[in-house]
Structures are given as structure tokens and as C-alpha cells.
């Protein structure tokens, strides 16, 4: 993500900050300008006190005092439940980062109305209740127990996943939404099927086959970015879309803070893609090959730094030529949107 500055003293402030630690100025994020601004009474999101939301309230009367991000949440848990509110705050923080990126990339975001458009059901399951994280016709459901680090990590290990975060869940599920918005019925759907497969195959059968096949080669063929992507063309697209958002946000950050990676000593030029300008990155001006050239060097460096701290790789994935072709397809969809 880009770097933000306090409107009063110019100090570096984070995207989520509600107050500048250098000068005590109260802050809000204005999505229409992509800026951190002075917080103005009467223009704060109604969920600022409860959920630590720092966005400016949406002027649309239908928003009822909430911001553009919070108004997308169409279902919340009991706000008297302290545990649920803590989990909800974490989920909303991830959703604000997601929405800011979607707006930055110019992707269409239509608030849900009459069962159409984008909405989020952020649910804390009651005892004995099962809440499945997923997407259905624009409604993204998130099980808020995923906000608990220990629970989420236990699931990650049990499912053999290299990566599992709240923001990752949201980026994956929004991929399903944009498949419907940008691919379904569009001229590029034929290209989609040539890359990802025919989405008309039975999803339930694919699900049973995926979880019942203990001898499957997973992503070993190099055709998919994750093992989960092998299950069905819809899941392949959603996983690829999520990784496009990971890469886009990561590279925007490196450009904003001036990080350049020339590649390890002795490594030939193809690894040494660099972003030398400091400022806002415009992905639409780059080809996917150029984007991956920049990303490759940074991902290697980031993983090396993570290992030097005794931590797992920050980006534990391999982008093969087949995956790169799928990412290029997503990139062109975003460009066109």
C-alpha cells in the first residue's frame, strides 16, 4: 500500500491510524481522495468507536452514517458480545484494506441492494452452528472465528496450507465476485476456459474428489498457484485473483517506500527487475511480465529476510509459466475494468 502522511505535521502514519503519534491530530481516511485527512466531527464513520474504523462517513443517506467500507457489511454478530466485536474489528480491518485496493485498481464496487451487488456477512457462529466462509451471488460470508490466530493457524496446519489470513480469505472470495462481474458471459470467457478449465463441470463432485483424493499430485504439475486451486476452475480463478491482489499491493508498497531489489550478487538480469521510482505505482502501465519481473526479486529478498528472523517464507509460492499466464489474464481483466 502507498505511504500516508499526517495532514498536520507530515509524519508517516499508517492506513489504520486514527491519531498521529507525532502531533496528536485526529485522522480519518477519505476513500474518494485516497488520503489521510483531519478527522471532522459529524463526518466520522458511526463504527469508529466500536470497531476502530477510521474512514470518513459515506455521504449517501442510505449509508446511515457508516463509511463506504462498513456499509458493505450486511450482517454482523451481536454487538453486545465482546469476543464477537473483537473478531469483527479484525475482519473489518481486512475488509477496509481490500476495499481500498479495489478502488485504487479501479474495479467496480456496487453496494448490495435487493440481493444484487457486493455485500459481506461477517458471522460469529453460535454453539453447534456451522458457518462456511464463501461467496454466493455477490454475498461474501466470513466465519469470524478465522480472526482468532490460534484457530486459524490450527486450520492452516491441518489443511496443509502454506498461507492463511483474514485478508487472504477476503481476496479469494472477492475473486469469485469478480468472476461473475468480469468473466461470466463476457467475450473473454472462452479464454478463461482455455486457461482455467470449463467452469460448467459439477462443483460438488469436484469438491468431493478434491478432498477424497489423497494421492492427487496437487500443484506439483505447476499448473496452479495452490493445491486448493486444483479443485475447480472457479477456485483456480479465485486463488489466482487473490495472488494478483497480493502482488499488486506488495509492489505498491515497495514503490511507495523506495525499496529496490537488484537480485543477489552474480544472478543474471532477468531476476533483477526493480521499481526505482518512489511514489504511486500504476500497474496498468506495466505488462504482467514486467510486474512479475519486479515481484520475483522482491519475493526472494522478502523470503530471505523472513528466514533470517527464523520465520517461514513471507511468500511461500512458486509462479510457474502456466500460473503467470493466468495472472496475465487477470491483469487484462483489471486493466479493462
Domain edges within the chain: 1-60, 69-164, 189-336
Residues 314-329 have pLDDT tens digits of 999 999 999 999 999 9
pLDDT digits (tens, 9 = 90+) for 158-194: 988 989 999 999 999 999 999 999 999 999 999 999 9
> What is the pTM (predicted TM-score) of this model?
0.92
Residue 280: its pLDDT value, please?
60
CA terminus-to-terminus distance, the chain: 20
Neighbour-count burial of 178, counting CB atoms closer than 10 A to its CB (0-12 exposed, 13-18 middle, 19+ buried): buried
Helices marked H in 75-188 — which ranges? 82-105, 149-158, 166-178
Among 159, 24, 23, 45, smallest CA distance to 93 is for 45
Q: What is the pLDDT of residue 276?
A: 47
**Predicted pLDDT of residue 220:** 61
Cell numbers 479501479 correspond to what residue? 106
Alpha carbon separation from 281 to 115, 117, 253, 298, 329 (Å, rounded): 35, 28, 9, 15, 20
Q: DSSP H helical segments within 18-79, as ranges?
A: 48-51
Task: Please tell me the predicted confidence (pLDDT) of residue 297.
Answer: 86
Q: How far is 226 from 240, CA to CA, in rounded Å? A: 9
Which ranges of the chain have pLDDT less than 50? 266-278
In this structure, what C-alpha cell is assigned to residue 207?
469438491
Contact 256, 281 (CB under 8 A): yes
Amino acid at each position: 500500500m502507498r505511504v500516508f502522511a499526517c495532514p498536520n505535521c507530515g509524519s508517516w502514519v499508517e492506513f489504520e491510524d486514527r491519531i498521529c503519534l507525532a502531533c496528536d491530530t485526529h485522522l480519518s481516511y477519505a476513500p474518494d481522495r485516497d488520503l489521510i485527512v483531519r478527522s471532522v466531527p459529524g463526518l466520522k464513520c458511526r463504527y469508529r468507536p466500536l470497531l476502530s474504523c477510521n474512514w470518513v462517513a459515506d455521504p449517501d443517506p442510505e449509508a446511515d452514517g457508516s463509511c463506504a467500507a462498513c456499509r458493505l457489511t450486511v450482517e454482523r454478530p451481536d454487538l453486545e458480545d465482546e469476543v464477537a466485536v473483537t473478531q469483527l474489528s479484525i475482519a473489518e480491518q481486512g475488509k477496509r484494506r481490500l476495499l481500498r485496493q479495489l478502488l485504487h485498481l479501479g474495479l467496480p464496487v456496487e453496494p448490495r441492494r435487493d440481493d444484487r451487488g457486493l455485500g459481506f456477512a461477517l458471522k460469529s457462529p453460535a454453539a453447534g452452528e456451522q458457518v462456511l466462509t464463501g461467496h454466493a451471488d455477490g454475498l461474501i460470508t466470513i466465519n469470524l472465528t478465522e480472526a482468532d490466530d490460534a484457530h486459524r493457524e490450527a486450520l492452516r496446519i491441518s489443511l496443509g496450507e502454506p498461507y492463511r489470513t483474514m485478508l487472504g480469505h477476503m481476496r479469494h472470495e472477492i475473486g469469485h465476485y469478480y468472476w461473475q462481474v468480469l468473466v461470466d458471459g463476457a467475450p473473454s470467457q472462452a479464454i478463461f476456459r482455455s486457461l482455467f478449465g470449463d467452469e460448467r463441470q459439477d462443483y460438488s463432485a469436484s469438491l468431493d474428489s478434491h478432498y477424497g483424493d489423497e494421492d492427487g499430485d496437487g500443484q506439483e504439475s505447476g499448473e496452479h498457484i495452490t493445491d486448493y486451486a486444483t479443485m475447480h476452475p472457479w477456485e483456480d480463478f479465485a486463488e489466482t485473483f487473490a495472488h494478483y491482489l497480493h502482488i499488486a499491493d506488495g509492489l505498491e508498497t515497495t514503490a511507495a517506500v523506495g525499496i529496490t531489489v537488484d537480485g543477489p550478487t552474480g544472478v543474471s538480469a532477468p531476476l533483477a527487475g526493480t521499481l526505482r521510482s518512489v511514489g504511486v505505482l500504476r500497474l496498468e502501465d506495466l505488462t504482467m511480465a514486467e510486474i512479475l519481473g519486479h515481484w520475483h526479486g522482491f519475493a526472494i529478498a522478502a523470503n530471505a529476510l523472513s528466514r533470517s528472523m527464523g520465520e517461514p517464507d513471507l511468500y511461500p509460492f512458486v509462479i510457474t509459466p502456466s500460473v503467470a499466464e493466468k495472472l496475465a489474464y487477470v491483469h487484462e481483466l483489471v486493466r479493462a475494468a
